[in-house]
Amino acid sequence: MALGKRKFSEEITQSAIFLMVLGQEHASSIVSKLSEKEVEALGACITNMGRVSREDIEKALSGFVEDVREQTSFGIDNSNYLESLLGDALGEDKARSVIERIDMQGEPASIEALKSMGASGVLEVVRNEHPQIIAVVLSLLEGKVAGEVLKQLPEETHIDVLMRIARLNTLAPSALRELDVVLESRMSKQQAPVVGSDPVGGEQAAAILIKNVGTDLGDVLKEKMRVEDEALATRVAALMFVFEDLLAVDDRGIQTLLRDVSTEDLVTGLKGASPEMNDKILGNMSSRAAELLKDDMDARGPVRLADVEEAQARVCDIAKGLEADGKLMIGGGDDFV
């Protein structure tokens, strides 16, 4: 949002945007309740305000909804009033969209509590639930915990739960509230601190889960998933591809890959790679290029793990793109030209 030379606090700026969005009739009734000083501040802000973006409007409206729900009861019990108020200013569809996004920013207490439990505690909560509920719960957990829970569930439920996780996208607030009701009775005696929220389900969650159940069970699940839905299994497998999997790419494929990868990403990515992976990359470079790369790695010194992982992810993305174009095979074998 572009503003004039005079600067205003975020609170005043968002209040001014909110009044502008409401329109003259609604804004006038609000302004009539304000003090002279408040009206002056808002008027000056509106006068100095430049272009207001869609993001600025959504931020102001989101802040209003949050404030209302924290300070009064009608934000929850009388949501129709709130929808009506915003509907007059934005239209019903946009108003409902704003409120929906605010609802998605929080999670029911039972789900928050589950995230701080160990695998055994989660298992006791979900053991006898429907596979769809188990799938939602596991998709909300950290990968290692979810993997441990799945391993302890009956074997016949494994692929059903995994397929449901892979096909999940997002949950509407109403669905999360329904899940909360189902889990609440199971957790009445459980106590745990509240933690933050995570994305719900999807192919990435399925890939993480398979990687956290161990090699033997993971191989079984991948094969069963391929039988159930080959296209989905292929997408999930692609998400499981990591930097060290480049060891399976033949030399011609590695040489093709190196033409597209930046030196910066190679230097950073190899800092966290195995000796075998380093040998694989350096062995497919000219002697001079390999010497220069090793010199760069030695001169770089310690590198943050997060930077290493990001660089390796970029290299993997390039490899997957080349595979999609038929220029290399991640699983090994001849590449195509």
- Render 198-242 in DSSP notation, one character per residue: ----SHHHHHHHHHTS-HHHHHHHHHHHHHH-HHHHHHHHHHT--
Q: Do 226 and 116 fall into the same domain? A: yes
- Cβ atoms of 211 and 240 within 8 Å: the answer is yes
Question: Does residue 334 lie in a domain region?
Answer: no
The domain boundary, picked from 205, 239, 273, lies at 239
Q: Do 150 and 166 fall into the same domain? A: yes
Question: Does residue 63 lie in a domain region?
Answer: yes
Q: Do 189 and 100 fall into the same domain? A: no
C-alpha gyration radius of the chain = 27
Question: Does residue 173 lie in a domain region?
Answer: yes
What pLDDT is recorded for position 117? Answer: 73
For 228-231, the CB contacts below 8 A with 24+ separation are 228/159, 228/163, 229/163
CATH number, domain with residue 162: 1.10.220.30
pLDDT 10s digit of each residue in the chain, 337 long? Answer: 443 445 567 778 878 887 777 767 777 778 777 887 787 777 777 777 766 676 777 777 776 666 655 554 444 444 455 555 555 555 666 655 555 554 544 455 566 677 767 788 888 888 888 888 888 888 888 888 888 999 999 999 999 999 988 888 765 555 566 666 666 655 554 433 333 333 456 887 888 888 888 878 888 998 999 999 998 888 888 777 778 888 888 999 999 999 999 999 999 999 888 899 999 999 999 999 999 999 998 888 888 888 888 888 899 889 888 888 888 887 544 434 3
What pLDDT is recorded for position 259? Answer: 93
Q: Domain tally for the chain?
A: 3
Question: Does residue 247 lie in a domain region?
Answer: yes
The domain boundary, picked from 207, 239, 271, lies at 239
Task: Give ∠ CA 178-156-110 in degrees, rounded to 5.
Answer: 25
Cα distance between residue 57 and residue 89, in whole Å? 12
Question: Does residue 140 lie in a domain region?
Answer: yes
C-alpha to C-alpha distances, 169 to 162, 213, 224, nearest whole angstrom = 13, 22, 21
> In terms of residue numbers, what domain contains 90?
10-104
Question: Does residue 2 lie in a domain region?
Answer: no
The domain boundary, picked from 195, 210, 239, lies at 239
Question: Does residue 1 lie in a domain region?
Answer: no
Question: Does residue 331 lie in a domain region?
Answer: no
Q: Do 248 and 319 fall into the same domain? A: yes
